Structure 1
Amino acid sequence: MKGYFFPNRMTPILRGLIGLLVILLAGCSMSGSSTKNVPAPLARQGLLDLRSYPFDHQFVDLDGNWKWHWQALLNPGDPETGFEYTSFPEIWNKKTWKGQPLSSFGYATYTLTVLVPPTPLPLGLRLPDTYTSYRLFVNGIELAHNGSPGVSKETTTPFWASQVKTLPQNLDTLHLVIQVANFHHSKGGIYKSIRLGRADLLLGKLNREYALNFILTGCLFMGGLFFLGLFWFGRHEKSILYFSLFCLLYSYRIVGSNAYALHSLFYTGWSITLHLEYLSLFLSIAVFALYTGSLYPEDTNKSIIRGLAGICFAFAIATVLFPPSVFTRLITPFLGLMPVYIGYAFYVYWLATRRKRPGASYALMSTGVLLIIFVIILLQYFQVAFPENLVLFLGYLGFFFFQSLVLSFRFANTLKQAKEQAEEGLRAKNEFLNTMSHEIRTPLNAVIGMTHLLIQDKPRDDQKQPLDVMLSSARNLLHIVNDILDFNRIESNQFILQVVPMDPARILQQIVSDFEPAAREKSLQLSLSIDPAFRSTVGGDPARFAQVVSNLVHNAIKFTERGQVKMSLHVESQTTQDCSLHIAVEDTGIGIPLEKQEMIFNRFTQVDSSMSRMYGGTGLGLTISRRILELQHVDLYLQSEPGKGSRFYFTQVFPVMAPPPDKPEIKPVRKPLSKDKPLQDICILLVEDNAMNVLLAKSVLDRLGASVEVANNGREAVDMLDSSRHRLILMDLQMPVMDGYEATRLIRQRKETLPIIALTASLAQEVDEDAKQAGLNEILVKPYNPGSLMQVIVRHLKLQDQD
């Protein structure tokens, strides 16, 4: 049966709750004072003898039989006639006067004589709140009061507060006279004990209680604000909103009831604070019911939740509409309903725990703690036990801690799911972009390659211009694809920077060479200025350095209609360890207004939409350039004036490195290569599944004199390979049946050493590691031009011959 009703992991939870119940209840005194070790005597017929009671570290409650005068407010010295002996403390509607039951409304006087021993330190009285006002005289002198007792509602001023008053020293007898009046509350009289003890200890204990109350209130209030902010600025989950409201509402009860710590600081009127005390209770329980329903909606009955919340709201409405003498009667039936609320919440959380809902075990523990707190409060309310304030503090702290864990766990779980979804979305985006890159680069390879072949055939003048346009458009499309992929890598922190020896001057010269045709087509002068002081090889990423400057030059040429584009490299400082270079690209183009200069660095953004129509482009080039430099902790700056041009520049510090060693000259030893047909009588195995790329590669290789055999996938390549005929393999990487990596691994396992060149639409850095592990010799990225393909093949054939 145990295994059926409770999951195995429930057993430690229940044991923990039972243990906590024992600990908390152990902190409750069943006799009225948790601090005394010596039994305190009781007052008898208006006299309490404490001359032998040790007051060094103990307190005593002045309980027992006091003299009592009903419907009389006696002052010290007035004759004590018409009195009875009555139990103290006890509310009036439980008493009788001359055999007749009393109501809660009226006024009375209590008197008691206390015999005390001589003590080195002054004694004091801990005075609780009273229904609903009192005035205390000690030996004929007024010592304290709460409000002002009177003989009618009009002459009575209610007030509630706990206080400690110090007694005069060197007294052996205390004559206490207490005037009490109530015309405002449904209960009347003194219902809490008056405590006598050392004044410093009593005051210290009261201050500690106040401190604990204020600390707990601060925790609840700040927690409520935190969860309210979490709801407002984060996920709009109702459970978070309800819990924040519950914390904010219940935070008032900690300092606005019981010891009334808030009243020690300021007081705004008994009726207002009493309304707030009851409203905070009714509304907080209503919100807690709604919180439970929204926390685990699949495990709750909505009708029950609405009914429980509706009852609380009805109590709250009655509190607003009726006077204190009426709505204070609601507390007893409401306390009777509390087990129903807590019991149902406990059932919901137990059910949620069985069904393994997120954070349900914490919710179950918190409700168990709440049940314990409620038991303690009932014991206190019905004057059965009087817990130490620390006990309730720990109980409340445990309850709110566990409930915070519930929301934190759920919120963390939600963040985890959101993170996983975001990562999955990022992976899907990356896969999509990589796939689209491959799909776009594959036909571009054929377009660019075939265009190069047609241009090499020396077309007529009327054919050359369309071919140039075709090649330029294909390159622009390739540039856009590369920009999007690079931006995606930067955004997903997959952008890798290398540090290898490079010559910035030579890179800039190559950029000038690459862009001269574009500048010449627009009749622009493209120039480069190199500081003669620059004589170093520096460490950096040559590809990314070239990409940054190329984007700046491309942007300058695109937005310049006449004039010039100037590139410059200036040495700002140079030592044996590092070199600071200032690189600038200046044009005489359209310029950019000051207020719009920052916009051009935003992704997919240009100064205005007409620019994209007139000049084309995605607006990613400058964004990527700035982000690449930022990854190296370098800033990209802009100076521009509309109509006069723009100047982009940055200053970067490079480490000085030794230049790479010169490559030894490779001389063919097997067979000289023909200049016109450098691959004459060379048999190459082409592994490619795309018909257009097969046509392109065969066309290029046929012109070079090579014979070509084609395999449509890696499996065919492994089966077809004959090292006695084939000198080199051109291997596509992404193919059906078997990809190029697996085919290469199988070939290398056969101890084949012929060169295998990867032809891939992916970027080199994306496949470099896998290619090396598979045994590929080099990577040629599509789209490639015929000259690049020839250079790669010839280089590896020469290396093979040298071997």
Structure 2
Amino acid sequence: MSNPRLQKRRENLIRRLLIVIILFMSLPLGLAGCSGSRETNDHAADRGTLDLRNWSFEEDGAISLDGEWAFFPRQLLAPEQLSAQRGGEHYVNVPKSWNSYPKGYGLSDGQGYATYRLKIRIDPTKKVLAIRVPNIYSAYTMWINGEMLASKGKVGTSEELSQADQYPVVVAFKADTDELDLVVQVSNFQHRKGGIWVDFKLGESGTLFRMQNWSAAQDMSILGSLLIIGIYHIGLYAFRRQEKFTIHFGLLCLIIALRAGVTGDSYLLQIFPISWEMGLKLGYISLPLCAISGYLYVFQLFPQDGSKKAIKWVMGIGLLLTLIVVMFPAIVYSQILLLFQSFVLVVGLYSLVVLVAARVNRREGATFVLAGMAVFVMTVLNDVLFYNEWLVYTQLVPLGLFFFILMQSFIISTRFSSALRKGELVSNQLRELNTHLEERIEERTDTLKKTNQTLEKANRELGRMETSRRHFMTNISHDLRTPITLLQGYLEAIQDGVVNTEEQRQRYVRMMLGKVSGLERLIRDLFELSKLEAGQLRFDKASVCLSAWMEQLCEQYEIDVRSAGLALDCTFIHGEEDAVQVDPQQIKLQLDLPRMDQVIANLVYNAIKHTQAGGRITLTFSYSHLTKEVLLHVTDSGIGIEAEHLPFIFDRFYKKEMSRNSAEGSSGLGLAIAKEIIEAHGGKIGASSEPGRSTTIWLSLPASQNEKGVKNSLIQPV
């Protein structure tokens, strides 16, 4: 069997690993914010010129070419034309799409063409420099010092004359001059946004190529991992179709891999002959398909916490968005990118709600899925900000989804590991069972013998209870029949004229009233006992000081005891185990005083009836530190109770001559009622006796000790 302590330690280790991974995933955002602010504030282009003469590419590394660039709207100017150009330029912030430029020279609908220019002053160097050109929507041509170094797609002045194409490139050039003249022609008639809205980077060629290689290695690692994980889990589903979540998980991995391959550096577009339009369609289609497969995966993992109705909505909206991408060109569906992002975000947030419910309900693996989904939703928010130019950083959805998948790998591994552990456990148990079969048979035989003994004992108890029931029925029949018979006799005597005088009639009426009162007491006691046993009688408990209760009991019964020719003693004694003597004023009990007075009255008046004149009745109180309870002994010097009757004195209608339930006028239920009341207070009651010498009825009640003491009054506030 598995060790609970080892299992708990394993869970704690996984949680710590999860926290470390989340912190690691959050680090790029923090570093990007720090580095971005330093470059923007200290080295930014001003009115088309960027001064980098005090910048060391060897020591300081690469730098983003951010700031004010010269912008020539609706003009495609070559470097030689710009040399002869005088005026007509505007200065715009780069990176930023030309949709957001002022109306006077901006292209608010994203469609059009323009020329960008930036002059960069540097210290001449013999080292080779390079520029990393980002994705520019949707075609461009770039010159440095009049030399064309990069071109993607076909720049044109209309949709018919232009052709879209893009993926980032790094181009190297000589930097043996003190100024670099960077000219970029851009045209866009295929996408919702145009212009340069991702930053250029300038640095030593070795540095930029290393950065490009490192970025490619990271992206290809993510892409390869997604493909392997996706194919693996689709294979799991093929062999075990009961685990439906594996097929959705595998499809999610493949869809994410597809999106990672056609966005960013667009490796699939570089490797395979895929057109720009097809690549963009694949990227957009992946968004709703990711939402569909992601929610289906979460639902299959935790169907008790998800909603089947939500599946219809998610699939309906997702397929509708997919159909729009398939049927319309990029210029149409790219205009509603925010709708795609909102759909993914809403589905992600609803999935978070489902996962929180699963975590609250302690579903297996809910913590891992919740952490992965939370990071994914954060990256979706980042991408919404990035694509709408509210945050200029980079897209992080592939990274966030990769982390989400990593978390899912944990849960799937945990489930399969749990299944393997259970299989190993069953195998070990079978092996142990085969090895120790004889010992187990012997143990089972001993267990059966003990069970038989228990059943025999229970059978004896049932027999005793059946005997008690018969006695009960006999006694109640006798106790009801006797006074009824007498009443009938009295009434017949009056009817037959036996009773002639007024004095006789009054005496007979008094006797009948006495019998009726006895019957009323019997019925009342039976009714009360039934309510006590059914737990239907309400107890109004209050905080009672032991010292005040003792004083009240002594005063209440002293006159009756002395009137019977007996002596009454009330004492408080300290227990032998008490190292420190406690004052009764420091002890509190929770009592329903009227019910408790009913119990004490029954015990005291029983003692009075069975004690001859000149005897003594003693109420002895004590407090036990060990059990936290008050003990009360009611002791008399009367005739006592024989040992054979002692175990039954708290039973209903047990009225043997020495049982304390046989006093004249008694219903035989007093001690049974007293026992129910004491047990309702959480206490116990019992008896001991020496026939011919004394009888003691004892009871214990829960109590507490107040170190500061309590006021010497009977009832204290609770």
User: Aligned residue for 2:61?
Assistant: 58
1:184-239 C-alpha deviation (Å, 9 max, x unpaired) = 11211111111111111111101111110001111110000100100001244221
User: Aligned residue for 2:135?
Assistant: 129
Q: Counterpart amino acid of 1:67?
A: A
Q: Give me the whole-angstrom Cα distance separating, in 2, the residues matched to 1:737 and 1:255.
A: 69
Normalised by the size of structure 1, how large is the TM-score? 0.49
User: Aligned residue for 1:320?
Assistant: 326
C-alpha change, 1:421 and 1:190, in structure 2 (3 Å) is same
Q: Give me the whole-angstrom Cα distance separating, in 2, the residues matched to 1:63 and 1:178.
A: 14
Q: Give me the whole-angstrom Cα distance separating, in 1, the residues matched to 2:255 and 2:31.
A: 27
What is the CA-CA distance between 1:365 and the residue it aligns to?
1.6
Q: Give me the whole-angstrom Cα distance separating, in 2, the residues matched to 1:288 and 1:355.
A: 21
Q: Give me the whole-angstrom Cα distance separating, in 1, the residues matched to 2:322 and 2:443.
A: 73
Q: Give me the whole-angstrom Cα distance separating, in 1, the residues matched to 2:281 and 2:212.
A: 25
Q: Give me the whole-angstrom Cα distance separating, in 2, the residues matched to 1:140 and 1:736.
A: 97
Q: Give me the whole-angstrom Cα distance separating, in 2, the residues matched to 1:37 and 1:110.
A: 21
What is the CA-CA distance between 1:409 and the residue it aligns to?
2.1
User: Aligned residue for 1:261?
Assistant: 267
Equivalent residue in structure 2 for 1:184, among 172, 182, 190: 190
Q: Give me the whole-angstrom Cα distance separating, in 2, the residues matched to 1:63 and 1:357.
A: 49
What is the CA-CA distance between 1:58 and the residue it aligns to?
2.1
C-alpha change, 1:98 and 1:382, in structure 2 (3 Å) is closer
Q: Give me the whole-angstrom Cα distance separating, in 2, the residues matched to 1:69 and 1:736.
A: 95
Tell me if the contact between 1:147 and 1:159 (Cα under 8 Å) persists in the aligned partners.
yes
Tell me if the contact between 2:299 and 2:306 (Cα under 8 Å) persists in the aligned partners.
yes
User: Aligned residue for 1:119?
Assistant: 125
1:453-472 correspondence to structure 2 within 5 Å: none
1:88-126 C-alpha deviation (Å, 9 max, x unpaired) = 222122123536763211111111211111234221111
What is the CA-CA distance between 1:242 and the residue it aligns to?
0.2
1:42-191 correspondence to structure 2 within 5 Å: 42-56=44-58, 57-78=60-81, 79-80=84-85, 81-96=87-102, 98=104, 102-191=108-197
1:695-722 C-alpha deviation (Å, 9 max, x unpaired) = xxxxxxxxxxxxxxxxxxxxxxxxxxxx
C-alpha change, 1:291 and 1:262, in structure 2 (3 Å) is same
What is the CA-CA distance between 1:387 and the residue it aligns to?
5.5
Tell me if the contact between 1:366 and 1:403 (Cα under 8 Å) persists in the aligned partners.
yes
User: Aligned residue for 1:29?
Assistant: 33
Tell me if the contact between 2:287 and 2:341 (Cα under 8 Å) persists in the aligned partners.
no
What is the CA-CA distance between 1:405 and the residue it aligns to?
1.3
User: Aligned residue for 1:781?
Assistant: none
What is the CA-CA distance between 1:150 and the residue it aligns to?
0.8
Equivalent residue in structure 1 for 2:292, among 286, 299, 310: 286
1:119 alignment partner, SS class: coil
User: Aligned residue for 1:757?
Assistant: none
1:96 alignment partner, SS class: coil
Q: Counterpart amino acid of 2:31?
A: G
1:539-550 correspondence to structure 2 within 5 Å: none
C-alpha change, 1:219 and 1:307, in structure 2 (3 Å) is same
User: Aligned residue for 2:43?
Assistant: 41
What is the CA-CA distance between 1:327 and the residue it aligns to?
1.1
C-alpha change, 1:305 and 1:423, in structure 2 (3 Å) is farther
C-alpha change, 1:121 and 1:310, in structure 2 (3 Å) is same
Q: Counterpart amino acid of 1:223?
A: I
Identity, % of aligned positions: 29
Q: Give me the whole-angstrom Cα distance separating, in 2, the residues matched to 1:316 and 1:129.
A: 24
1:216 aligns with 2:219: no
What is the CA-CA distance between 1:157 and the residue it aligns to?
1.4
Q: Counterpart amino acid of 1:49?
A: D
Q: Give me the whole-angstrom Cα distance separating, in 2, the residues matched to 1:191 and 1:183.
A: 16
Q: Give me the whole-angstrom Cα distance separating, in 1, the residues matched to 2:219 and 2:443.
A: 72
1:200 alignment partner, SS class: helix
1:208 alignment partner, SS class: helix
C-alpha change, 1:23 and 1:110, in structure 2 (3 Å) is closer
2:185 alignment partner, SS class: strand
C-alpha change, 1:14 and 1:384, in structure 2 (3 Å) is farther
Q: Counterpart amino acid of 1:85?
A: Y
1:331 aligns with 2:337: yes
1:571-621 C-alpha deviation (Å, 9 max, x unpaired) = xxxxxxxxxxxxxxxxxxxxxxxxxxxxxxxxxxxxxxxxxxxxxxxxxxx
What is the CA-CA distance between 1:339 and the residue it aligns to?
3.3
1:408 aligns with 2:410: no
User: Aligned residue for 1:204?
Assistant: 210
C-alpha change, 1:16 and 1:367, in structure 2 (3 Å) is farther
Tell me if the contact between 2:227 and 2:257 (Cα under 8 Å) persists in the aligned partners.
yes
User: Aligned residue for 1:671?
Assistant: none
Tell me if the contact between 1:250 and 1:284 (Cα under 8 Å) persists in the aligned partners.
yes
Tell me if the contact between 2:69 and 2:93 (Cα under 8 Å) persists in the aligned partners.
yes
1:520-599 correspondence to structure 2 within 5 Å: none
C-alpha change, 1:125 and 1:64, in structure 2 (3 Å) is same
What is the CA-CA distance between 1:45 and the residue it aligns to?
2.0
User: Aligned residue for 1:249?
Assistant: 255
1:451-484 C-alpha deviation (Å, 9 max, x unpaired) = xxxxxxxxxxxxxxxxxxxxxxxxxxxxxxxxxx
Tell me if the contact between 1:66 and 1:110 (Cα under 8 Å) persists in the aligned partners.
yes
What is the CA-CA distance between 1:356 and the residue it aligns to?
1.9
1:29 alignment partner, SS class: helix
1:32-79 C-alpha deviation (Å, 9 max, x unpaired) = 47xx67954222222222112222232222222222222211112113
1:751-773 C-alpha deviation (Å, 9 max, x unpaired) = xxxxxxxxxxxxxxxxxxxxxxx
1:637-716 correspondence to structure 2 within 5 Å: none
Greater share of residues in helix: 2
1:352 aligns with 2:358: yes
Tell me if the contact between 1:734 and 1:740 (Cα under 8 Å) persists in the aligned partners.
no
2:118 alignment partner, SS class: strand
1:206 alignment partner, SS class: helix
C-alpha change, 1:62 and 1:233, in structure 2 (3 Å) is same
What is the CA-CA distance between 1:13 and the residue it aligns to?
9.9
Q: Give me the whole-angstrom Cα distance separating, in 1, the residues matched to 2:367 and 2:198.
A: 38
Q: Counterpart amino acid of 2:46?
A: R
What is the CA-CA distance between 1:342 and the residue it aligns to?
2.1
1:90 alignment partner, SS class: coil
C-alpha change, 1:202 and 1:13, in structure 2 (3 Å) is closer
C-alpha change, 1:44 and 1:239, in structure 2 (3 Å) is same
For structure 1, the 5+ residue unaligned runs are 1-7, 432-491, 496-732, 743-803
User: Aligned residue for 2:387?
Assistant: 381
Q: Give me the whole-angstrom Cα distance separating, in 1, the residues matched to 2:106 and 2:359.
A: 55
Tell me if the contact between 2:72 and 2:115 (Cα under 8 Å) persists in the aligned partners.
yes
Q: Give me the whole-angstrom Cα distance separating, in 2, the residues matched to 1:318 and 1:91.
A: 25
Normalised by the size of structure 2, how large is the TM-score? 0.55
1:179 alignment partner, SS class: strand
C-alpha change, 1:379 and 1:38, in structure 2 (3 Å) is closer
Q: Give me the whole-angstrom Cα distance separating, in 1, the residues matched to 2:312 and 2:420.
A: 30
What is the CA-CA distance between 1:395 and the residue it aligns to?
4.7
1:190 alignment partner, SS class: coil
User: Aligned residue for 1:679?
Assistant: none
C-alpha change, 1:342 and 1:180, in structure 2 (3 Å) is same
What is the CA-CA distance between 1:393 and the residue it aligns to?
7.6
Q: Give me the whole-angstrom Cα distance separating, in 1, the residues matched to 2:448 and 2:197.
A: 90
Q: Counterpart amino acid of 1:88?
A: V
Q: Give me the whole-angstrom Cα distance separating, in 1, the residues matched to 2:406 and 2:105.
A: 52
1:257-279 C-alpha deviation (Å, 9 max, x unpaired) = 12323334344211111111111
What is the CA-CA distance between 1:310 and the residue it aligns to?
2.4
C-alpha change, 1:419 and 1:116, in structure 2 (3 Å) is same
Q: Counterpart amino acid of 1:55?
A: F
